[in-house]
A and B are shown apart, each in its own frame.
Chain A
Amino acid sequence: MPMDVMTGNSAQAYGAKLARAEVVAAYPITPQTTVVEKLADLVASGEMKAQFIKVESEHSAMAACIAASATGARAYTATAAHGLALMHEMLIWAAGSRLPIVMGNINRAMAPPWSVWADYQDSIAERDTGWMQFYCQSSQEVLDTVIQAYKVAENHDILIPAMVMEDAFYLSHTFEPVDVPPQKDVDDFLPPYDPPIKLDVDNPVGLCALVPPDHYMEFRFKIAKAMEDSRKVIQEVDEEWEKKFGRSHGGLVERYRMEDADAAIIAAGTMSSTARVAIDNMRDKGKKVGLARLRVFRPFPYEEIRQIAKEVDSIGVLDRSYTFGHGGAFYTETAGALYQAPEQPHVKNYVIGIGGRDIPPKDIEEILEKVLTKEDGGEVEWFGLRTSGSKEVN
């Protein structure tokens, strides 16, 4: 199969192309811009057969995707940070409409102060919109996940939209080798979108009408159920992908050197790759540490997290965003999952890499040391703050 050297953003675009997205509606925003440019090139050259609506805002981008998807077309868009925030209302609309739209989101910090660098505040703020959330650690995973996400989202038992995340600049603008699967193999894996209901003049229906209290709750429950059911489908689709293309991305949670670990860190995105180096270094020193990479945050993999709790005495959760008031979202959700678990390891939150702050292996090694020793000092620590006096937050 052909290897290409490309950025994570190109991987998004090729993922959409290989998935045969029929309608693209997108608005440029740093650091997503090159996704839009690549798609424009692919469409202009005739390499990709799609209608590309060059919308005037991200809000309209998602509105157009919703309408296109409701008309029976496979729809794709990409955004980042403030673009995602502008879409907020439409994200809820897409999920409520049960439309399997796939969107790339290039995780970027929110202003003010202005920042274009990596941070998960944007997507974490959208966790309650009813979208599945995948966090990728390589450009290969980005390309593969866009295609996988359509397969999960379009499953008639699921029918909810999915976001495929990349870290700003670490992935969006970094070149690395990517295996681009042949179109015919992707076509075998992902059949054309065949919605159970759509806008059709021969069978006219009204969609998204006003619903009284007699019905609304059931509509919302069905989304909740679909999100629960998506766990199994995500796992199966990743396994099917592995059979066909020879690589897995770990389903919901990818484990690294967890077999005999005494302590684990939970992390997502590109910092997981750094964490591998840190863990190898620690292992070389005889320290039994491992990594559980959150590939999927919605639905939250609570069973996998409880399994990890059975295996280790201490967990450190690394968050690249913060929920003002208490703790990073990965931490509070991990802690929430463990409340019902029989095993209760020591758990602490490390808020790290905010606004693109560099995360070198030595920082993760330092955190791993703290996790191993079950370091006290509160539940939440902003790690690596320049102002040491305010280092301890709790």
Chain B
Amino acid sequence: MGKLTIPQEELMNSGHIGCLGCGGTLAMRYLLKALGKRTMITIPACCIAIMSGIYPRNFLKVPLLDVAFETTAASASGIRAALDAKGIHDIYVVGFGGDGGTADIGIQALSGAAERGDNIIYVMYDNEAYMNTGIQRSGATPFGAWTTTTPVGTTGDFKKRPKKNMVEIMVAHDIPYAATASVAYPEDFVRKVQKAKDMDGTKFFHVFSPCPTGWRYSPEMTIQIGVLAFQTTVFPMYEVENGVYRVTKKPAKRKPVTDYIKLQGRFKHLDDETIEVIQKTVDRNWEMLLAKAEFTKKFAE
């Protein structure tokens, strides 16, 4: 039996009301394991805000402040400032938002906090659409996907632009640490959080959180979908520390994107030609990532 690398303490109560197979709940659970109980969390309007349970219930064993949709990062900054004012410096302050609340409506506040260098941890759990309100497209919805606001119809009106690259946007803010992670690889996620949590400044995590409801797959396949996203390099695992890229986990052999796409109803309308376009984009992005890792090596301290 292998060595346990993930802390056993559970800081999430049972009885959340998320969907079966929800990736977002796993993201929260592993994050809290990595940070421990001296953590304060702020959550905007998103799936997790509902899953936490309706008043007077609460699914976390750490203080939780529900905030307005676009204010996650500013709220985290406010909590941090209050703790600093009180001379309390041993508490982790976390903004935990979905992809819409982060890449779209909340990006201004996040950019502001990152530019100021506020000492917070920001986690974007990415289920690639506005899932809480019923699968509307977000800036993080991938090219080719069906959503309720990118219905395929008779004109093929699926999402026609690639997802917004939040890690790159955050790296451009010159923050100490940005990384991708996946609920399919909790050890990698926990390791990254533990590595970055005590760095001063804004730390950003982009956590791949498959959504059976919105992606149209069977709930027991969440981890398998996450594994395939990694193996196809649709969602690669990497970190950027002070501008230096490092691929933290490489697939032994890359699989074709069809292996990932064919399992999900949201892509079922795609023809071979469009899937080929996706394959080429994924290939290009993967090669660029490897090149960045190679090129930035020399800047490592």
Contact = CB atoms under 8 A, between A and B. Distances in A.
Interface of A: 22-23, 25, 49-51, 53-57, 59-61, 63-73, 75, 89-90, 93, 199-201, 204-212, 215
11 contacts: A56-B108, A67-B74, A68-B85, A70-B65, A71-B86, A90-B68, A93-B68, A201-B91, A206-B64, A210-B50, A212-B55
Given A90-B71, A201-B39, A204-B62, A56 B111 contact: yes
Given A60-B71, A67-B65, A204-B64, A25 B58 contact: no
Contacts of A22: 82, 85-86
Contacts of A215: 55
Given A56-B115, A57-B112, A201-B39, A209 B58 contact: yes
Contact of A208 (B37, B40, B66, B112): B66
Contact of B37 (A59, A68, A201, A211): A201
B67 A201 contact: no
Nearest to B42: A67
Interface in B58-88: 58, 60-68, 70-71, 73-79, 81-86
Nearest to B62: A204
Contact of A53 (B55, B63, B77, B91): B77
Given A63-B71, A66-B67, A210-B54, 7 more contacts: A69-B82, A71-B78, A200-B63, A207-B66, A209-B49, A209-B58, A212-B55
A379 B82 CA distance: 50
Contacts of B75: 63-64, 66-67
Contact of B65 (A61, A73, A207, A212): A207
Contacts of A55: 74, 77, 112
B191 interface: no
Contact of B70 (A51, A59, A64): A59
A199 B62 CA distance: 9
Given A56-B115, A206-B66, A199 B78 contact: no
B52 interface: yes
B115 A51 contact: no
- Output the residue of A54, A208, A209 with the most chain B CB within 10 A: A209
Given A66-B78, A67-B75, A204 B61 contact: yes
A89 B64 contact: no
B268 interface: no
B254 interface: no
B40 to A, nearest CB: 5
Contacts of B53: 209
Contacts of A64: 74-75, 77-78, 81
Given A65-B78, A67-B76, A68-B79, A51 B85 contact: yes
B82 A73 contact: yes
A201 B55 contact: no
B190 to A, nearest CB: 20
Given A50-B85, A201-B91, A206-B66, A59 B71 contact: yes
Contacts of A211: 54-55
B78 A25 contact: yes
A68 B58 CA distance: 21
Contacts of A93: 67-68
Nearest to B61: A204
Contacts of B86: 22, 71-73
